[in-house]
Each structure stands twice: as C-alpha cells, then as structure tokens.
C-alpha cells in the first residue's frame, strides 16, 4: 500500500490503531455497536458527547464530506442557494453535517435538526448553524413532530445502525421530504451489519414499489480510518454504505 493510502476492508479484519489516542477513540466508537437499547444508547451519548468530536478527528471521519459530494450530483450548486431551500438533518449529533454543507457548498440556507440526545444537540447548538432543533427519539410507531413534504433535502448521517435509528423509520423520514427533494443516509457497510442492511434495502424497495421514491445512488464510502503503523504509512479503513433517493409524490 502506498504512503497514506486508505483501503476499505471488512470489520472482521480490523487492524489495531498504532497510537493510544486512536485506540481510545476506536473503543468508544466500537462501544456503540450493539443491540437496540434506547436507554443504554442515550446514556452512552450523554457521556460520549464530551469526546465525540475529538474521536471523529482522530479517526478521520469523512462521511459528511462524502455525502455532500454525492448529493452535488443530484442538486446543482445554484439550487442550494434558492430562497426558501430547507434541509433537515436527522440524528444530527454535534452538527458535523451542517458544517460539511457550509464548507463544501457554502450553504447558508435553513437547516433544522432532530436528535434524541440533548447533550449532543447542545454541542451543535453552540455552532449557531441550525434553525430549529427538535428532541425526538425516532421509532417506527412514533412519527417525528414535523410537517410532511416540507424539506428539499433530508440527511441522516451515520445514525442508522442497529443500536440507533431503525430501518422501519425510513418511511417517516421520507415523509418529510418535499416531492422532487432528496433523502440521503448511511448505514454500516460491514459484514456484521448485513441483516440490518437487508432491512434498510427492503424499506427502500417498498417505497420504490409504491412509487414514492426513485433510487439515485448506493455506494460504499470510507467512514473511519486510522494509522496502523507508527510512521502512519498504512491506514485501515471502516466503510459505510451510502444511499440516496428522490421523492416522487406526497406521502
């Protein structure tokens, strides 16, 4: 492998980070991989909110950047500047997605956010980028307290994994997208996540069959990477799966 290169490999072949700080960060990331247990997850984020941004820096987290790049193919740079353009960030955490939109697109329009964890949202709030932040725990039988068919763009970045937002919430997330608007999200692209990914894809297939969405893209992207040698020449990478759909009619 060439110096500084990043190769995508399955989680089953994870290599240990070479540095202590990356080891600690990776342990905190690994601890969130598990079964669906809302109480445990929220307590975990109460604590992780203090380390979250630093851990993502150490592990070279790039998903928001990759997502913005991917969306650019389907929404022109001029359209992002239209008056009244609105974005919703579901599972916004500390607001990395909003920062990526500002950095790559110089986006200055409205961004609202939904998250279950107040401490994570508090970090996002201090950045002063979001308009409305709504505390809500997404469950398939508990719709978000938001109007249907409202947002030009809805994103959910790295918040749909077994311990967090469930695939059965996808119809509710698609509900708030404006017809003609797009919905982009990720899950893990790892061998341990195959069953969960099947549930994600079956929700998308159902929406497509009902004529509610058209599929735009699905691809593997890097999620975290870290040096595995002291001189940082070799990097190990965990991958995510990115999906993008366009909404076709009101739901």
**Integer Cα distance of 239 and 7 in angstroms:** 9
Asked if residue 120 binds ligand SAM (CB under 6 A), the reply is yes
**Integer Cα distance of 8 and 110 in angstroms:** 34
241 beta partners: 187, 220
Asked if residue 138 binds ligand SAM (CB under 6 A), the reply is yes
Asked if residue 86 binds ligand SAM (CB under 6 A), the reply is no
**Integer Cα distance of 125 and 134 in angstroms:** 11
Q: Which of 88, 157, 170, 213 binds ligand SAM (CB under 6 A)?
A: 157
Shortest distance in whole angstroms from residue 216 CB to ligand SAM:
20
Shortest distance in whole angstroms from residue 199 CB to ligand SAM:
15
Per-state percent for the chain, helix, strand, coil, to nearest 5: 35, 25, 35
Q: Which of 25, 86, 96, 190 binds ligand SAM (CB under 6 A)?
A: 96
Asked if residue 115 binds ligand SAM (CB under 6 A), the reply is yes
**Integer Cα distance of 225 and 19 in angstroms:** 12
How many residues contact ligand SAM, by CB under 6 A?
A: 19
Q: Which of 17, 18, 59, 64 binds ligand SAM (CB under 6 A)?
A: 64
Q: What angle do CA 115, 119, 121 make, to 5 degrees?
A: 40
Q: Which of 17, 59, 91, 207 binds ligand SAM (CB under 6 A)?
A: 91
């Amino acid at each position: 492998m060439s110096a500084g290169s990043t190769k995508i490999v399955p989680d089953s072949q994870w290599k240990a980070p070479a540095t202590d700080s990356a080891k600690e960060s990776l342990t905190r990331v690994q601890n969130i991989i598990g079964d669906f247990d809302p109480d445990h997850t929220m307590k975990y984020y109460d604590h992780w909110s203090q380390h979250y941004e630093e851990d993502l820096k150490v592990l070279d987290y790039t998903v928001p950047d990759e997502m913005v790049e991917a969306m650019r193919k389907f929404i022109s740079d001029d359209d992002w500047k239209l008056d009244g353009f609105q974005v919703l960030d579901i599972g916004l955490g500390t607001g990395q997605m909003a920062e990526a939109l500002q950095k790559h697109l110089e986006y200055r329009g409205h961004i609202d956010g939904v998250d279950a964890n107040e401490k994570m949202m508090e970090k996002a709030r201090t950045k002063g980028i979001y308009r409305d932040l709504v505390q809500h725990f997404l469950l398939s039988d508990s719709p978000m307290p938001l109007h249907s068919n409202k947002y030009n763009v809805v994103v959910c970045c790295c918040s749909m994994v077994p311990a967090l937002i469930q695939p059965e919430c996808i119809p509710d997330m698609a509900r708030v997208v404006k017809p003609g608007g797009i919905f982009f999200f990720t899950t893990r692209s790892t061998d341990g996540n195959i069953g969960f990914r099947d549930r994600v894809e079956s929700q998308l297939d159902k929406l497509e069959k009902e004529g509610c969405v058209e599929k735009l893209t699905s691809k593997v992207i890097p999620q975290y990477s870290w040096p595995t040698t002291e001189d940082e020449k070799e990097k190990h990478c965990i991958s995510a799966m990115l999906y993008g759909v366009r909404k076709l009619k009101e739901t």
